[in-house]
Amino acid sequence: MSISLYYHPYSRAAGTVWALEEAGVPYDLKVIDIMKGDQKSAELISKNPMGKLPTLVDGDVVVTEASAIALYLADRYASGRLAPALDDPKRGTYLRWSFFAPSVIEPAVMAKGEDWKVKEVSAGWGNYASMLAAAESAIAGKRFVLGDEFSMADVVFGGTLRFMMAFNQIESRPDFKAYVGCLDERPAYQRAEAKNMAMRTELGLK
Ligand SMILES: N[C@@H](CCC(=O)N[C@@H](CS)C(=O)NCC(=O)O)C(=O)O
């Protein structure tokens, strides 16, 4: 069995490299030139009908959606290490903030940036201010989402905050900065960053 990640360093797949490094599994990167639109090739569409990155192929299994890929890797390859066991009550907090990232943070930021007119009571992401307050509550007084224990939830939730702050899409609140600073020190994150930077250089990107 081998793991392939359909990848471009300017995509969410860059964060998936961090998830793979944390899981500690061997993998190869299949570079897809999103500048040329290669994500819409028949090969990728046959795996991911959205024609988007990241797309992970693990043997016969295809997993898409950056957060799902990260949680899959943790459950399959690092259960009890990066993911609480299925009957561990900590799993509630783990899943809660892992799902919060793509289903609340991302659309709330997009809605604000694009000035979407939506009914807050119907929009699952509520509004930007309540999203920020909730995100802050997830890590207030803690090192990680689960307290002192790092987990894949931090790759998903923290990776989303890091990305949003880097592009000034959310304000860099002190709690967010301290939390992401702590994540940046992880050897797996640093290995992933080195790979992403090396790939950018190889592809002639900034
Ligand atoms: N819901 C997906 C979103 C994936 C996504 O939008 N990927 C972008 C790059 S970050 C992409 O592939 N864009 C190219 C396109 O849509 O053609 C996830 O969370 O993985």
CATH number at residue 150: 1.20.1050.10
**Token pair 């898409």 in the structure block, residue:** 64
Q: Give the pLDDT confidence score for residue 133 in this predicted structure.
A: 97
18 and 54 fall within a common domain: yes
**Residue minimizing CA distance to atom 2 of ligand 1:** 65
| 40 CA: nearest ligand 1 atom | 17
Q: Is the peptide bond before 54 cis (omega within 30 degrees of 0)?
A: yes
8 and 70 fall within a common domain: yes
From ligand 1's centre to the CA of 64, what distance in Å?
10
Q: How far apart are CA 161 and CA 119, in angstroms?
A: 25
| 37 CA: nearest ligand 1 atom | 17
Range of the domain at 176: 90-186
pLDDT band at 206 (very low <50, low <70, confident <90, very high): confident
**Residue minimizing CA distance to atom 15 of ligand 1:** 52
Q: Which residues have C-beta atoms less than 6 Å from ligand 1? A: 11-12, 34, 39, 51-54, 65-66, 102
pLDDT per residue as tens digits for the range 128-164: 999 999 999 999 999 999 999 999 999 999 999 999 9
105 and 116 fall within a common domain: yes
From ligand 1's centre to the CA of 137, what distance in Å?
28
